[in-house]
């Protein structure tokens, strides 16, 4: 009769998520635009919202807009006045928690909190064997696995690489499914 070796228990691995620093920006904020330039961009965007508007094709959205004082015409073009926009711009809190399925991986967004994430949207993938090529769904899935494996990326975007082998009309669904 042969004896079996006792099964070794896997060592318990503590979560790296709790050990990784959640950095904050201690330097003053830097902007590519001056205060005057930023205000000019804001003013032009408000003018576009007032004059050109935005088309909404969802009846529920149109009703929500109308109930909040936004003018929506028969073609479902919503035009926003400055006061309405300014009112709603004051509502969000300076920070909020982006909640993860694993609470240890939730992140704080806003204020001076820094969140590291992989790039989003490149059309090409690259590896040592095949070089630079159009991204595939398999590449996307591998990048997602690598992103999940490192505790130094706090969250993921959607398209870490564009899966060019998936038809465009199905792509958004397949990308979201890959993240699940």
- Domain hosting 106: range is 95-179
Residue 14 confidence (pLDDT): 53
Alpha carbon separation from 121 to 90, 125, 175 (Å, rounded)? 31, 11, 11
pTM, 2 dp: 0.65
Residue 171 confidence (pLDDT): 95
**DSSP secondary structure of 32-78:** SS-HHHHHHHHHHHHHHHHHT-EE---HHHHHHHHHTT-EE-TT-EE
Taking only the tens place, the pLDDT of each residue in 5-39 is 566 665 554 555 556 678 888 888 788 999 999 99
The verdict on residue 15 lying in a domain is no
Residue 36 confidence (pLDDT): 97
Residue 15 confidence (pLDDT): 56
Spatial neighbors of 23 by CB under 8 A, at least 6 apart, are 113, 114
Residue 157 and residue 106 in one domain = yes
Domain total of the chain: 2
Which of 89, 120, 135 is the endpoint of a domain?
A: 89
Residue 103 and residue 138 in one domain = yes
Name the helix (H) or strand (E) containing 131: strand 131-134
Residue 138 confidence (pLDDT): 97
Residue 128 and residue 164 in one domain = yes
Residue 64 and residue 121 in one domain = no
Residue 47 confidence (pLDDT): 97
- Report, as ranges of residue numbers, the positions in the chain whose pLDDT lies below 70: 1-20
Per DSSP, the three-state class of 149 is helix
The verdict on residue 11 lying in a domain is no
């Amino acid at each position: 009769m042969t004896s079996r070796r006792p099964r070794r228990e896997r060592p318990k691995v503590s979560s790296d998520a709790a050990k990784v620093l959640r950095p904050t920006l201690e330097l003053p904020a830097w902007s590519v635009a001056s205060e005057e330039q930023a205000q000019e961009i804001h003013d032009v965007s408000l003018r576009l919202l007032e004059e050109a508007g935005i088309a909404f094709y969802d009846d529920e959205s149109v009703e929500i807009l109308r109930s909040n004082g936004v003018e929506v015409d028969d073609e479902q073009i919503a035009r926003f006045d400055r006061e309405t926009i300014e009112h709603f711009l004051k509502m969000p809190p300076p920070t909020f928690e982006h909640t993860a399925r694993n609470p240890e991986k939730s992140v704080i967004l806003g204020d001076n909190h820094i969140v590291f994430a992989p790039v989003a949207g490149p059309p090409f993938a690259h590896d040592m064997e095949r070089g630079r090529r159009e991204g595939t769904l398999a590449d996307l899935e591998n990048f997602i696995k690598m992103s999940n494996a490192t505790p130094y990326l706090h969250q993921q975007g959607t398209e870490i690489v564009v899966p060019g082998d998936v038809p465009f009309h199905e792509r958004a669904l397949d990308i979201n499914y890959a993240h699940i």
